[in-house]
């Protein structure tokens, strides 16, 4: 195993500079969800230069590359590795030479790094084809950031057909560079969204008794929605109800006829997830009717929770303990963030893991989706090594 780790380290080191270069190129040229045309073309061209990949585009802005191992004693298993490619509608404030050239669009979540890491893993696994059997399926996914997301679309297109395992990685700002974060079972929540329109009766602000004040009703709704978490849900079950947008009114002397409330609900438990909109609508109905108003309530279910398959996750923990050292593979707590990687986990045992990207000594400490977000580029080699070491062990020749 020590010789294998040395060989792996040598191959990862050999692609390190290219991986950083790919990440910087992608960072300069970000594209929003469902618009990743240049990004997907860059991925196709880069893969085509590596070797005998079978490359396809299941959707206009995604890429899937299939590679078969050359080991003589085959096992026939299929491992899927996934990276997301889309950027966010954020105006970058970093002053890097490779800062975004697209006004109002930025890789503020690390997807440029995810794509670069998977390209690096593809090249190394191609060079080491003689050491593994079966198939690696590299999924370069569009539109993770925008519901309904690209993962569900790719699953419907058949990219998971015949897959035995699926892995996905996220460069993770809360975790120090050099560490791998793992958790068996629930990792990321289901991110549902809601919209409430309170309909009152507008009028002059000096004569409120002649109106049905939609803002006053909305304020009570916002306050009472917190009772869903604090007084109706089991306190031992993780749940978040957050109001993130309130819109109403046009002038200081006009009570508006309607007010809009928008927000998100995050949960893990399926039965709780079903119950929350029932509780919410009951609160909204009671408050609006008590004050003579009416309402429209729209609740949309987002991605499923990301739940890591325990047996696969523990296998990976052992693999990466050997590859990086046991002290570098750490347990992470579940997050109330959402990820459409969960769509792949409906088709095969899957593990989503974190690659530490934080380095306060270098000033790399801003959170995801921040206009000054970035990653420690040393983390990219960690991600490549994690993907490759997992593939070499999971697809090791039989006997």
**Which sequence positions are flagged as catalytic?**
86, 144
Q: Residue 43 and residue 106: Cα distance in Å, rounded?
A: 18
Decide: helix, strand or coil at residue 256.
coil
Can you tell me the distance from the alpha carbon of 185 to that of 144, in angstroms, rounded to the nearest whole number? 21
CA distance 83 to 106: 17
Taking residue 203's Cβ as centre, other Cβ atoms within 10 Å add up to 17
The span from the CA of 311 to the CA of 334, in Å, is 18
Q: Which residues contact 238 (CB under 8 A, 6 or more apart)?
A: 189, 266, 267, 268, 334, 336
| 35 to 83, 113, 290, 310, 368: CA distances (angstroms) | 16, 18, 46, 35, 21
Rounded alpha-carbon distances, angstroms, from residue 266 to 34, 288, 293, 316:
24, 25, 28, 27
HSE at residue 159, side-chain half, CA atoms within 13 A, is 31
Nearest alpha-carbon partner for 22 in 138, 123, 116? 116
Residues near 131 by beta carbon (within 8 Å), at least 6 away in sequence: 4, 69, 71, 392, 396, 397
| Structure token pair of residue 287 | 């408050």
Report helix, strand and coil shares of the chain as percent, to nearest 5: 40, 25, 35
140: exposed, middle or buried (Cβ count in 10 Å: 0-12, 13-18, 19+):
buried
Report which of 170, 182, 27, 41 is spatially closest to residue 106, judged by C-alpha positions: 27
Residue 318 CB neighbour total at 10 angstroms: 12
Q: Where are the beta strands (DSSP E) in the chain?
A: 54-56, 63-68, 78-84, 135-141, 165-176, 180-182, 185-188, 190-199, 203-204, 239-248, 254-255, 258-267, 294-300, 306-308, 329-331, 350-358
């Amino acid at each position: 195993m020590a010789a294998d780790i040395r060989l792996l380290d040598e191959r990862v080191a050999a692609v390190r500079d290219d991986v950083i270069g790919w990440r910087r190129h992608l960072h300069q040229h970000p594209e929003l969800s469902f618009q990743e045309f240049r990004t997907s073309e860059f991925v196709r061209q880069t893969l085509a230069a590596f070797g005998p990949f079978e490359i396809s585009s299941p959707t206009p802005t995604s890429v899937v590359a299939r590679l078969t191992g050359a080991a003589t004693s085959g096992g026939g298993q299929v491992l899927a590795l996934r990276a997301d490619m889309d950027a966010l509608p954020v105006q970058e404030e970093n002053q890097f030479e490779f800062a975004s050239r697209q006004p109002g669009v930025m890789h503020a979540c690390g997807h440029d790094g995810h794509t670069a890491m998977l390209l690096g893993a593809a090249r190394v696994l191609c060079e080491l084809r003689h050491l593994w059997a079966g198939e690696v399926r590299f999924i370069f996914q569009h539109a993770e950031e925008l519901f309904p997301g690209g993962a569900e679309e790719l699953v419907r297109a058949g990219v998971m057909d015949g897959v035995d395992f699926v892995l996905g990685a996220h460069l993770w700002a809360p975790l120090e560079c050099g560490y791998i974060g793992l958790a068996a079972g629930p990792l990321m929540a289901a991110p549902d969204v809601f919209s409430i329109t309170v309909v009152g009766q507008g009028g002059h602000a000096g004569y409120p008794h002649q109106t049905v004040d939609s803002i006053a009703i909305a304020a009570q709704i916002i306050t009472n929605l917190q009772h869903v978490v604090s007084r109706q849900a089991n306190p031992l079950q993780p749940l978040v109800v957050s109001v993130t947008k309130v819109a109403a009114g046009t002038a200081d002397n006009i009570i508006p006829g309607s007010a809009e409330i928008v927000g998100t609900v995050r949960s893990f438990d399926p039965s709780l997830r079903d119950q929350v909109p029932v509780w919410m609508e009951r609160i909204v109905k009671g408050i609006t009717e008590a004050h003579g108003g009416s309402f429209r309530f729209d609740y949309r279910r987002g991605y499923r929770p990301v739940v890591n398959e325990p047996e696969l996750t523990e296998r990976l923990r052992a693999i990466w303990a050997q590859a990086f050292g046991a002290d570098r593979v750490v347990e992470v707590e579940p997050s109330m963030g959402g990820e459409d990687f969960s769509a792949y986990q409906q088709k095969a045992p899957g593990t989503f893991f974190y690659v530490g990207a934080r380095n306060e000594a270098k000033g790399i400490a801003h959170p995801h989706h921040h206009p000054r977000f970035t990653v420690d580029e040393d983390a990219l080699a960690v991600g490549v090594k994690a993907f490759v070491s997992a593939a070499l062990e999971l697809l090791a020749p039989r006997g």
